[in-house]
Amino acid sequence: MTDPTTVVVGAGPAGIRAAEALVRHGLRVVVLDESARAGGQIYRQPPDAFERAYAKRYGFEARKARALHDAAARVLPLADYRPSTLVWNVWQRALDVTRDGRIERVPFDALVLATGATDRLMPIPGWTRAGVYSLGGAQIALKYQDCAIGRRIALLGTGPLLYLVAFQYRKAGANVVAVLDTAPAAAKRRALPQLAASPRTLAKGIFYRAWLASRRVTIEEGVVPLDIAGGERVDAVRYRRDGVERRIDCDAVALGFGLRSETQLADLAGCVFEFDAQDAQWLPRRDADGETSVPGVYVAGDGAGIGGADAAELWGERVGLAIAQRHGRAGADARIAAIDRRLARLARFRAALDRAFAIPALPPGDDTVVCRCESVRAGAARAAIRDFGVVDVNRLKALTRVGMGRCQGRMCGLAAAALVAAESGRDVAAAGRLRAQPPIKPLVMMPSLAPVPARGPSAPQGAAERSTP
């Protein structure tokens, strides 16, 4: 009997460690990654021609970045590694992918979805102005291409990433004019005892803050964003703190309220989802091995629920070992137990972080654009919800085009569900989640996409004429 093929989607911390565990146990692995170079988002590597020291690029995480890149360099040559490959559909134990402008089908026996996360964005007035970036996007501009997003940069939102990105920008010589955190200082103080369970991580957070303060970067906590002001482009952030309206002039804003898991492939694979109160989103259900409700389909890393890069590496390895065990490779029990203990500790830290940096409720005004792809404003969405008695976010999508555009609701889906919940008087879980539809990211129409018969798809004999809608 030939060994099964495991396909790993994503070559970030989770994907690399999963592939490493599988390769170590002699299993056949295919690694598909959208990027040209391995590392994922957090340890994203620059284009080949760029040279910048690890310490400069990754700061305190340089050692971890180096370790993951080294692991990738060891493991990927032993796997069937396909970079620059977009996975856009899962269907009947195979993936549809686009590589070099052509569609290919990649079958799997086991599948590891290590698809990571994107920023959790909230529609606040002016968030679609030129000059507004997601926090993660701002970080990538710096990490990947040594670019800053502007000359006077404000960071707005909440979460530890806010301070990390501010630190990285300032350290790189960029002009960070303000860090505007919606989470109040009191919440962080209350979470301190639990955060102290991971002293190293906490120390880094405290250091970033102190370092920024010593460089006279304005740090405001407990802010209520009013709008991102300007014309075509951003020229200020207006917010309220302690009942007082304030304004910070800037030419760029990095915006983010924590992270959200990328789950569309698990959805297309048919996985059962459950609402996760901590992550405030629907996530694929998984067992202790990371296996979903679909046998042989696993999720790992931030794509399975937000845990951060360290947890992602552990989850990746954990899933890789579970698959190896499933296929008769013994000897990983002690390692699995050790990983589970570390994951439990990280989960406690994560819960404390959530208390420190709670996701704010920021109901958009009727004029605010919720879905930027389709230019749908909150007022139009609310009217449709009331008018048609909408209780499900997919219905709102059908009626208003919210989430129907090229990002397929990856940016606006959570905000749209919150609108349905608020307007229909239900909780956000009851509003559901936008269903994924292939392709999860756009496909380019090209004659070379796939070989086709001379006259297109054949309709059933005799049916053709009348089946034209």
Partner 1 sequence: MKERVDVDVAIVGGGIAGCCAALRMRRSGLSVCLLEKGAVGSQASGVNFGGVRQQGRDFAELPLSRRSRELWGRLPELVGSDCEFVASGHIKLARSDADVEALDRYAAGAADHGLALELIGRARLRRDYPWLGEHVVGASLAPTDGHANPRLVAPAFGRAARAAGADVREFTRVEEVVRDGDRFRVRAGAIEVASTFLVNAAGAWGGAIAAAFGEPVPIATIAPNMLVTEPLPPLLTRSIGVCGGDIYLRQVPRGNVVFGGGHAWVDLDQERARPLTEISTCAMAEALRIVPALASALVIRSWTGIEGQMPDHLPVIGFSRTTPNLVHAFGFSGHGFQLGPAIGMILDELVREGASESPLDAFDIGRFHNSAQPPHAAGPHNGG
Task: Please give the single-letter amino acid code of residue 167.
Answer: F
- Considering only residues 206-245, where is the footprint of partner 1 by CB under 8 A? none
Cβ burial of 300 (10 Å; 0-12, 13-18, 19+) is buried
Q: Is 422 in the site for partner 1 (CB under 8 A)?
A: no
Give the interface segment with partner 1, choosing from 18-26, 69-77, 190-198, 400-408 (CB under 8 A): 400-408
Cα 146 to Cα 194: distance, rounded to the nearest angstrom: 35
Task: Please give the single-letter amino acid code of residue 209.
Answer: R
Quote the tokens at residue 5.
Answer: 């093929």
Q: How far is the CB of 32 from partner 1 (least distance, A)?
A: 16
Task: State which of residues 229, 398, 429, 430 lies at the interface with partner 1 (CB under 8 A).
Answer: 398
Task: Please give the single-letter amino acid code of residue 392.
Answer: D
Cα 429 to Cα 434: distance, rounded to the nearest angstrom: 12
Task: Please give the single-letter amino acid code of residue 326.
Answer: R
Q: How far is the CB of 111 from partner 1 (least distance, A)?
A: 17
Q: How far is the CB of 218 from partner 1 (least distance, A)?
A: 39
Backbone angles phi, psi at 169, to 5 degrees: -65, -50
Q: Is 362 in the site for partner 1 (CB under 8 A)?
A: no
CA 30 to chain centre: 22
Q: Is 430 in the site for partner 1 (CB under 8 A)?
A: no
Task: State which of residues 129, 327, 395, 426 lies at the interface with partner 1 (CB under 8 A).
Answer: 395
Give the interface segment with partner 1, choosing from 13-21, 47-55, 302-310, 382-390 (CB under 8 A): 382-390
Cα 308 to Cα 343: distance, rounded to the nearest angstrom: 11
Closer to partner 1 at the Cβ: 6 or 89? 89
Q: How far is the CB of 93 from partner 1 (least distance, A)?
A: 14
Closer to partner 1 at the Cβ: 200 or 466? 466
Sheet holding 110-113, edge to edge: 80-82, 28-32, 5-9, 110-113, 297-299
- Considering only residues 57-96, where is the footprint of partner 1 by CB under 8 A? 89, 91, 96
Cα 398 to Cα 413: distance, rounded to the nearest angstrom: 13
Q: Is 272 in the site for partner 1 (CB under 8 A)?
A: no
Task: State which of residues 2, 214, 461, 468 lies at the interface with partner 1 (CB under 8 A).
Answer: 468
Give the interface segment with partner 1, choosing from 52-60, 171-179, 286-294, 448-456 (CB under 8 A): 448-456
Cβ burial of 120 (10 Å; 0-12, 13-18, 19+) is buried
Give the interface segment with partner 1, choosing from 2-10, 60-68, 126-134, 436-444 (CB under 8 A): 436-444
Q: How far is the CB of 144 from partner 1 (least distance, A)?
A: 23
Q: In whole angstroms, how far apart are CA 412 and each of 70, 79, 232? A: 36, 36, 21
Question: What does the per-residue mask of binding to partner 1 show for 320-359, with x meaning CB under 8 A?
Answer: ----------------------------------------
Q: Judge whether 110 and 296 are in contact, CB under 8 Å.
A: yes
Cα 41 to Cα 106: distance, rounded to the nearest angstrom: 24
Quote the tokens at residue 237.
Answer: 């952030």
Task: State which of residues 376, 404, 418, 428 lies at the interface with partner 1 (CB under 8 A).
Answer: 404
Cα 330 to Cα 248: distance, rounded to the nearest angstrom: 59
Cβ burial of 326 (10 Å; 0-12, 13-18, 19+) is middle
Task: State which of residues 172, 383, 399, 429 lies at the interface with partner 1 (CB under 8 A).
Answer: 399
Task: State which of residues 290, 307, 405, 432 lies at the interface with partner 1 (CB under 8 A).
Answer: 405
Task: State which of residues 77, 173, 425, 447 lies at the interface with partner 1 (CB under 8 A).
Answer: 447
Q: Is 193 in the site for partner 1 (CB under 8 A)?
A: no
Cα 120 to Cα 187: distance, rounded to the nearest angstrom: 20
Task: State which of residues 7, 103, 180, 299 lies at the interface with partner 1 (CB under 8 A).
Answer: 103
**Is 155 in a helix, a strand, or coil?**
strand
Question: Which helix (H) or strand (E) is 145 found in, with range?
Answer: helix 135-145
Could you list the residues that contact partner 1 (CB under 8 A)? 89, 91, 96, 103, 105, 374, 387-389, 392, 395, 398-399, 401, 404-406, 408, 437-439, 442-447, 449-450, 452-453, 455-460, 463-469
